[in-house]
A and B are shown apart, each in its own frame.
Chain A
Amino acid sequence: MSPKEVKYKIASFIRKSRIGFIVEKIRIKYVDYLTSALEIILSATVGFLIVAVLLYFMGYDPYEVFSILFRYGYGNTSYLLSKSVPYVMSAMAFSIPLLAGVFNIGGESQLYVGAFTSLLVTYYTANPVLGLLAGLLAGGGLGLFISILRVYRNINEVIAAIMINWTMYFLLVYLITGTYYDPRMPHQSIQVPKSAWLGEFISPWGRIKVSFILAIIGACVIYYILYYTNIGYLLRVSGLSPLSARYAGYNPRKAILYSMLLGGAMAGLGGALFIIGDVHSIDTTMSTLYGLGFTGIGIGLLGRNHPIGIIFAAIFFSGLLIGGQWVELKTGAPPQLTDTIIGIIVIALAIPYAYRMLISMVRRWRIK
Chain B
Amino acid sequence: MIEDIINMLSNTFTTMTPLILAGVGEIITERSGVVNIGLEGIFILSSFTTAVATFYTGNPYFGLLLGAFVGFLSGVLHGAVSVYLRGDQIIAGIGYNSLAYGLSLMIMITLWQSYGQSPRVEKIPSLSIKVTQGSAIIISPVTILAIFIAIGVWWWLFKTSSGLKLRACGEDPRAAEAMGVNVFRTRFYATVLGATLTGIGGAYLVVGWIGRFTKFISAGRGFIALANVAFSNWNPLMAIVGGFVFGFFDALSIYLPIKLQSEYQEMFTAESSLFCTIPYMATLVIVAIIMKKIKMPRALGKPYIKE
Interface residues of A, Cβ cutoff 8 Å to B? 54, 58-59, 103, 105, 149, 153-156, 158-160, 162-167, 170-171, 173-174, 177-179, 294, 297-298, 301, 333-334, 336-354
CB of B139 within 8 Å of the partner chain: no
* Contact yes or no, B91 A174, CB < 8 A: no
CB of B68 within 8 Å of the partner chain: no
B215-250 interface mask toward A, CB cutoff 8 Å, 1 = contact, 0 = none? 000011001101100100000000000000000000
* Contact yes or no, A350 B280, CB < 8 A: no
Chain B CB within 10 A, most for which of A298, A340, A345: A340
* Contact yes or no, B277 A178, CB < 8 A: no
Interface residues of B, Cβ cutoff 8 Å to A? 37, 77, 81, 85-92, 94-103, 105-107, 109-110, 219-220, 223-224, 226-227, 230, 269-271, 273-274, 276-277, 280-281, 283-284, 287-288, 291-292, 294
Give the shortest distance, in Å, between B106 (CB) and chain A (any CB).
4
Question: A158 — which chain B residues lie within 8 A by C-beta?
Answer: 37, 90, 223, 226
Q: A166-B277, A171-B274, A173-B273 are in contact. Are A340 and B106 (CB under 8 A)?
A: yes
* Contact yes or no, A350 B88, CB < 8 A: yes
From A58, A160, A301, B284 is in contact (CB under 8 Å) with A160
Bound: A343/B102 CA distance, A: 8
Give the shortest distance, in Å, between B217 (CB) and chain A (any CB).
14
Closest to A338 in B: B102
* Contact yes or no, A340 B99, CB < 8 A: yes
From B77, B220, B227, B276, A165 is in contact (CB under 8 Å) with B220
Given contacts A345-B95, A350-B87, A350-B95, 9 further A-B contacts (CB under 8 A): A158-B37, A163-B283, A170-B273, A178-B269, A337-B106, A338-B102, A340-B106, A344-B95, A347-B99
Question: A170 — which chain B residues lie within 8 A by C-beta?
Answer: 273-274, 276-277, 280
* Contact yes or no, B81 A177, CB < 8 A: no
From B99, B105, B227, B273, A344 is in contact (CB under 8 Å) with B99
Give the shortest distance, in Å, between B86 (CB) and chain A (any CB).
4
Q: A158-B223, A163-B283 are in contact. Are A350 and B91 (CB under 8 A)?
A: yes
Question: A153 — which chain B residues lie within 8 A by C-beta?
Answer: 288, 291-292
Bound: A158/B88 CA distance, A: 14
Bound: A178/B224 CA distance, A: 28
* Contact yes or no, A343 B274, CB < 8 A: no
Question: B288 — which chain A residues lie within 8 A by C-beta?
Answer: 149, 153, 155
Question: B283 — which chain A residues lie within 8 A by C-beta?
Answer: 159, 163
Chain B CB within 10 A, most for which of A156, A165, A349: A156
Question: B107 — which chain A residues lie within 8 A by C-beta?
Answer: 58
Bound: A160/B286 CA distance, A: 11
Q: A165-B220, A337-B102, A340-B103 are in contact. Are A350 and B291 (CB under 8 A)?
A: no
Question: A179 — which chain B residues lie within 8 A by C-beta?
Answer: 270
Give the shortest distance, in Å, between A327 (CB) and chain B (any CB).
11
